[in-house]
Structure 1
Amino acid sequence: MKYLSLERRLGDAVRRRLPHPVAELVMFGLKQGWACLFGGLMIAGLLVSDALWQDDWWIARYDALFLFGLTIQALLLTFKLESWREARVILLFHVTGTAMEIFKVNAGSWAYPDAGLIKLWGVPLFSGFMYASVGSYMARVIRIFDMRFAPFPPFWITALLACAIYINFFAHHFARDMRVVLFAATILIYARTRIWFRIGARDYWMPLPLAALLTSFFLWIAENVGTSTGTWVYAGQSVRDWVSVTKLGSWYLLLYVSFATVLLVYRDVLHPAAITPARAPTDTRRQQRKLAID
């Protein structure tokens, strides 16, 4: 793909001008930004539409955002910035995210105050694209960083945890909230799991729970952008209020649901041969013989 050539040229230019550790950090940030393309465009759409939209325009803002999301998806596929494999992941996110939105809005957790025609039970369908952008990010970041996950527990454990988390998002309205138990489960299950990722010619690793925590923080920041534009409002919150930090925990848990969804079509990143001595940094090659999928 053309973007691979562009990335290579950009990486070479950065490394010529900066010390190696700084260059690697800069490239890490640029790759992360590229992985966030869908989400970044949706956030830009929220900000621009909030600044420009008028109530008397022929199309409602929510409906325009839905068409904007469809356009982004079509352009990414047309220009091969996204694969059909990734599009399948995004569709799953759209469906599961919209289902959660319908339940949460009707349970009074948050609301969409503006008018719109493209709605289901009070939920504008563009909201599914906000979840889809998370799926897009996860699928793209795995590809862009050539990620591998090892050692990794049996997939059925990941699927079971994801189901438990997803059910708890609904069930805690009627029964005891089990999120503390679920937080503990993520640590117990993935404490040993490393995310291996490549920057240039070298591989690095990060504990999976730490990566989930850092990602959830940036999602929480993005959510604050959404509420600041009045696109959606939490119960008892004004547009000037920051979203409760407890929502960061919700995003943390939701990322494990997202991860399981992505793995439905990206199972190859868990292959026992995914991490090899040739890929690993020199000082960790001895450890590779111990890394295998449980």
Structure 2
Amino acid sequence: MTLVAEGRRDLLSALDRRLIDNAPHPQLTGFRRFVVEFVMFGIKEARACLFAGLFFISIFAVPRAGLFGIPRYDVLLIIALAIQIWMVWTKLETMDELKAICLFHVVGFALEAFKTAGANPSWTYQDFAYTKLLGVPLFSGFMYAAVGSYIIQAWRLLDVRIRHHPPYWMAIGVAVAIYLNFFTHHYIGDYRWYLAALAIGLYARTTVIYRPFDRDRQMPMLLAFILIGFFIWVAENISTFFAIWHYPNQLGAWSTVHLGKWSSWTLLVMMTFTIVASLKHIRATIHIPK
């Protein structure tokens, strides 16, 4: 049994190494090259979304009544932990990546605890759970960790490099301001669009270089932020439809999540990217081996 498990673990690691293989394929040209690169890019993106995808499937699979007498939110926490342990055990995720994801979990939970508190919460988790802390089910932090997991995995699988990255102290300052604004806009006004304008100026020249197959491709960093934010907004609509949480305007009957949340998710993606980029910069600066 142990040998079978070890074999499966090695197979998954080998598949990951195969995806990262950048051996040149000069025979691929024209439309054939486009198709191959497009398919490989899709496969790598799907692999980078492994944690998010499996966790998202569990949202569909677990009934609102829970399983075996265990409330739904508690079941989702168990599933999230199981996926995380499995990914580390199969070496699909390193311990350093796990530490970064735990950081995202803490950052996300703090935001959740604040947003769901008080007489007029921004959103609510209405179902009962044993694993609620400050009114927030502990599985919710994994939704933020899923975004961090995707960025970390995509960075490695697509061999991401950043050209014209802004000074790190500026990027970190903007990221901190974005995070604080999620809290302070309840008291001193929403400065989201000012921060967005600042971020646009900061990342205007920044380009993300990635390798879907054997050649480098590139896109504006800002476009990458916007696209990721959009897909998270779509996932949020699906999650609220299945009553994982509710915004105040969805308590009577479900309605589409306000389009303005797309901008919030885009800013959150920018903040998450800054954490990942800064950790990698620190590692490179002090020469910590991978």
CA distance in 2, matches of 1:167, 1:59: 35
Question: 1:63, 1:126 within 8 Å by CA — same for their partners in 2?
Answer: yes
Name the structure 1 match of 2:169: 156
Q: Given the alignment of the two structures, is residue 261 of structure 1 paired with residue 275 of structure 2, yes or no?
A: yes
Name the structure 1 match of 2:9: none
- Identify if the C-alpha distance between structure 1 residues 165 and 270 changes in structure 2 by more than 3 Å, giving closer, same or farther: farther
CA distance in 2, matches of 1:241, 1:162: 30
Which residue identity lines up with residue 240 of structure 2 in the other structure?
Answer: T
Which residue identity lines up with residue 127 of structure 1 in the other structure?
Answer: S
CA distance in 1, matches of 2:283, 2:53: 25
Alpha-carbon shift at residue 221 of structure 1 (Å):
0.8
2:128 partner SS: coil
Out of 235-244 and 80-89, give the one that drifted further. Answer: 235-244
Give 1:3's match in structure 2, choosing from 3, 15, 19: 15
1:19 partner SS: helix
Q: TM-score, normalised by structure 1?
A: 0.85
Question: 1:92, 1:261 within 8 Å by CA — same for their partners in 2?
Answer: no
Alpha-carbon shift at residue 57 of structure 1 (Å):
3.8
Q: Given the alignment of the two structures, is residue 62 of structure 1 paired with residue 73 of structure 2, yes or no?
A: yes
Q: Given the alignment of the two structures, is residue 104 of structure 1 paired with residue 104 of structure 2, yes or no?
A: no
1:205 partner SS: strand
Give 1:184's match in structure 2, choosing from 190, 197, 201: 197
Question: 2:162, 2:206 within 8 Å by CA — same for their partners in 1?
Answer: yes
Question: 2:236, 2:257 within 8 Å by CA — same for their partners in 1?
Answer: yes
Alpha-carbon shift at residue 153 of structure 1 (Å):
1.3
CA distance in 1, matches of 2:214, 2:114: 46
Alpha-carbon shift at residue 154 of structure 1 (Å):
1.0
Alpha-carbon shift at residue 70 of structure 1 (Å):
0.6
Which 5+ residue runs of structure 2 have no aligned equivalent? 1-12, 286-290
Q: Given the alignment of the two structures, is residue 130 of structure 1 paired with residue 149 of structure 2, yes or no?
A: no
- Counting only pairs closer than 5 Å after superposition, residues 1-294 of structure 1 correspond to structure 2 as 1-7=13-19, 19-50=32-63, 53-54=64-65, 57-107=68-118, 108-238=121-251, 240-267=254-281
Which 5+ residue runs of structure 1 have no aligned equivalent? 272-294
- Identify if the C-alpha distance between structure 1 residues 97 and 28 changes in structure 2 by more than 3 Å, giving closer, same or farther: same
Question: 1:159, 1:260 within 8 Å by CA — same for their partners in 2?
Answer: yes
Question: 1:112, 1:232 within 8 Å by CA — same for their partners in 2?
Answer: yes
- CA displacement 1:19-43 (0-9 Å, x = unmatched): 1112111111111111001100111
CA distance in 2, matches of 1:269, 1:246: 35
Matched residue count: 265
Q: TM-score, normalised by structure 2?
A: 0.86
Name the structure 2 match of 1:287: none
Which residue identity lines up with residue 108 of structure 2 in the other structure?
Answer: G
CA distance in 1, matches of 2:210, 2:33: 17
Aligned alpha-carbon RMSD (Å): 2.1
Question: 2:37, 2:212 within 8 Å by CA — same for their partners in 1?
Answer: yes
Which residue identity lines up with residue 276 of structure 2 in the other structure?
Answer: V
Alpha-carbon shift at residue 240 of structure 1 (Å):
3.0
